[in-house]
Structure 1
Amino acid sequence: MADVKVQNLAFRAGQTLKVKGKPKSGCSGFAINLGHSENDVALHFNPRFDAHGDLRTIVMNSRQGGAWGSEQRESSFPFQQGEEFKVYITHNNDSFEVKLSDGSVIHFPNRLGDDQFLYMQLEGEVQLVSIHIK
C-alpha cells in the first residue's frame, strides 16, 4: 500500500501536475489528493477497480474541514491493474482539468477556491513512478 505525501508542493493555477504510477495486481483502487492537508482536499481523484460498491469507476470529490462534498462519478476508466498510467491534472483557478491516458478529459470544480495548493497524497495499492509539475 502506497501512502506518499508531499508537503510544500507549490502547485499553482496555470500549472499541470503529471502523476505516473502503477496499480498493483489485485488493486481495488487508489487516490490522488491535492489540497492543503488531509482534511482540506481540493481534488480527490479516486479510480476504483472494485471498491465501495463501484466497479471500474472514477470518483472525484473535495473535502473541507474534514467533511466530504458531493461525489462526481465518471465512466471513462483507462486504468489496468499492473500497468503504468499517466494522469495530467491542470489547475485552472476555478476548476481542475484531468486528462487521462485514453485522451478523455474530466473537469472538476475547485471548491476550495484557492490558486495554490501545497499538499499532494497518493494512497492505495499503487506504486508511484514519478510526479512532475510544469
Structure 2
Amino acid sequence: MQSIPYLSPIHGGVRDGVSIYIQGSVPENITRFRINLLCGESDSSDVALHFNPRFDGWDKVVFNSRKGGSWMSEEKIHKMPFSKGKPFELVIMITAKGFQVNNKDDFFLFPHRLPVERIRAIQVSGDVTIQTINIIGVSHASRPFLFQ
C-alpha cells in the first residue's frame, strides 16, 4: 500500500507505447482524487496529464494540462469509471494521439498538449488507496513499481 499523497520519478521517462498500470480502491466517502503526469518532480511542475475523478453529485472525470503555472481548458467526461467503496484497475497508455485511459473498456483519449518526452514523475493525491503502480515499457529495463 502506497501512502497518499504520492510522488515518484519515472526513471527513463515515457514515450509512445508506454503504459501506466494503477491498481487501487476508492473509499465510500470519496470526494475526488487526482493522478498527474508531471514534467518535473515537484508540485509546481507542468502537468502533461491531469486525471481527476470527482464525486460531487454530478459525477464526472476532468482531464486537463498545466503549462507555466496556468491550467488549460478542462475536458469533462460525464461518466464515472469508479464505484464508491470498490477496487479498480486503471491503465494509461501513451499513444501517438494522446493518453488512452482505460478502466475495463476504453474510457477516454486525451490529446497530448505537452511533449510526452518531458514527463518525469507521477503524482497521486486525494481520496484514493493505491496498491500498485507499474510503468510498462520504460526505456532501458522495464522497472515496475510494486507497492504491497
* 1:8 CA displacement: 3.4
Q: Post-superposition shift, 1:94?
A: 4.1
Report the equivalent of 2:36.
33
The answer to whether the Cα contact below 8 Å between 1:12 and 1:116 also exists between their aligned partners in 2 is no
Pairwise CA RMSD of aligned residues?
A: 1.7
Of 10, 24, 27 in structure 2, the residue corresponding to residue 8 of structure 1 is 10
Identity %: 33
Contact kept in structure 1, 2:25 and 2:85, CA below 8 Å? yes
Aligned 8 A contact 2:37 2:48 in 1:
yes
* Contact 1:29–1:124 (Cα < 8 Å) also in 2: yes
- Say which structure is richer in strand: 1
Contact 2:49/2:63 (<8 A) preserved: yes
Stretches of structure 1 lacking an aligned partner (at least 5 in a row):
none
Give the deviation of 1:87 after TM superposition. Answer: 1.0
Q: Is structure 2 residue 68 aligned with structure 1 residue 65? A: yes
**Post-superposition offset of 1:56:** 1.3
User: Distance in 1 between the 2:118 and 2:20 partners?
Assistant: 12
Question: How has the CA–CA distance of structure 1 residues 112 and 61 changed in structure 2, closer, same or farther, with 3 Å as cutoff?
Answer: same
Q: Name stretches of at least 5 consecutive residues in structure 2 with no aligned partner.
A: 137-148
Whichever of the two has the greater Rg, that structure is: 2
Q: Give, as a single letter, the amino acid of the residue that structure 1 aligns with 2:54.
A: R
8 A contact 1:32–1:123 mirrored in 2: yes
Determine whether 1:49 maps to 2:33. no
- Alpha-carbon distance, 1:118 to partner: 1.4
Could you tell me which residue of structure 2 aligns to residue 125 of structure 1? 127
Q: Is the 8 A contact 2:100 2:106 kept in 1?
A: no
Matched residue SS, 1:55: coil
TM-score computed with the length of structure 2 as normaliser: 0.80
Note the alpha carbon deviations across 1:66-110, whole angstroms, 9 max, x for none: 110000011221211221111110111441111123x13301111
What are the equivalent positions in structure 2 for 1:13-24 lying under 5 Å apart?
A: 13-24=16-27
Q: Are the counterparts in 2 of residues 93 and 113 from structure 1 also a CA contact under 8 Å?
A: no
Between the aligned partners of 1:78 and 1:114, the Cα distance in structure 2 is: 25
